[in-house]
Amino acid sequence: EDQVTQSPEALRLQEGESSSLNCSYTVSGLRGLFWYRQDPGKGPEFLFTLYSAGEEKEKERLKATLTKKESFLHITAPKPEDSATYLCAVQASAAGNKLTFGGGTRVLVKP
Amino acid sequence: DGGITQSPKYLFRKEGQNVTLSCEQNLNHDAMYWYRQDPGQGLRLIYYSQIVNDFQKGDIAEGYSVSREKKESFPLTVTSAQKNPTAFYLCASSDPRTSGNLYEQYFGPGTRLTVT
């Protein structure tokens, strides 16, 4: 069974304090790993797709990396507007178009 | 503007009543999905449809039903058989031909259903 575990569950940061979120996964053949941002009461917003170990993607203060067992979302010098829940999801080779989501990490950036 | 719309944003129902949640997309996507999100938890797949007139059960389909009569629409009915229907429901769509990314899913704004 495909599994995705995100840690920590919650993260409180001071503005400018860089940190990393972890997404550990177990899948039978990874097709892709996805990062989404979700604001309270809204639908997830797509951030990145990573396909193979060693791949990295960047967008503003966010950088996602991928190894064979986990992915990291690095937040560099965060601002209060980076406060959100960050969701990780994987797509397995045998799962068709289905995604398996982790529980998310709630990030609060204080000014 | 292209996108996914879900209505209504908030929905209240009495226990024992069926309720239908609307999901419409104008992205010309073939695949559509319904997820459920409970507080502090990730998304769980209820049903998905890869093409019109076809759909498959996800991980938690019991107590739910769907139809896919049009490419643009994928309504979800929460039946009285669903034991814990109160949740945040999210609709999504994807299409590799238009997104340029084989599996990227775009989400709607969600419907918060409260059953008392």
Listing DSSP states for chain B in one string gives ---EEEE-SEEEE-TT--EEEEEEE-S--SEEEEEEE-TT--EEEEEEEEETTEEEE-TT-TTEEE--SBTTB--EEE-TT-S---EEEEEEEE-HHHHSSTT--EE---EEEEE-
Question: A42: which DSSP letter?
Answer: S
Q: Give A63-82 pLDDT, tens digit per residue.
A: 999 999 999 999 999 999 99
- The pLDDT value recorded for residue B100 is 52
CB contact under 8 A, A87 and B105: no
Q: Which of B5, B27, B56, B105 to mutate to test the interface with A (most CBs of A within 10 A)?
A: B105
In chain A, residues 23-62 whose CB comes closer than 8 Å to chain B: 31-32, 34, 36, 41-46, 49
Which is it for strands B111-115 and B10-13: parallel, antiparallel or unpaired?
parallel
CB contact under 8 A, B106 and A97: no
The Cα–Cα gap between A37 and A88 comes to: 9
Of B41, B104, B106, the CB nearest to A49: B104
Q: pLDDT tens digits for A79-106? A: 999 999 999 999 887 777 788 999 999 9
Q: How far is CA B56 from CA B1, B45, B60, in A?
A: 29, 10, 11
Helix, strand or coil for residue A49? strand
Are B110 and A42 an interchain contact pair (Cβ–Cβ within 8 Å)?
yes
Contacts of B6 (CB under 8 A, 6+ apart): B21, B22, B23, B24, B89, B90, B91, B108, B109, B110, B111
Task: Give the residue among A3, A1, A8, A2 at the shortest CA–CA distance from A73.
Answer: A8
**Per-residue pLDDT for B98 more than 70?**
no
Contact criterion met (CB < 8 Å) for B102 and A32 = yes
Contacts of A44 in chain B (CB under 8 A): 43, 90, 107
pLDDT for A29 equals 87
Q: B18-67, pLDDT tens digit by residue?
A: 999 999 999 888 899 999 999 877 899 999 998 899 999 999 999 999 99
CB B50 within 8 A of CB B31: yes
Q: Please judge whether B112 and A41 are an interchain contact, meaning their C-beta atoms are less than 8 angstroms apart.
A: yes
Q: Where do runs of H (alpha helix) occur along A21-74?
A: none
CB spacing of B104 vs A31 below 8 angstroms: no
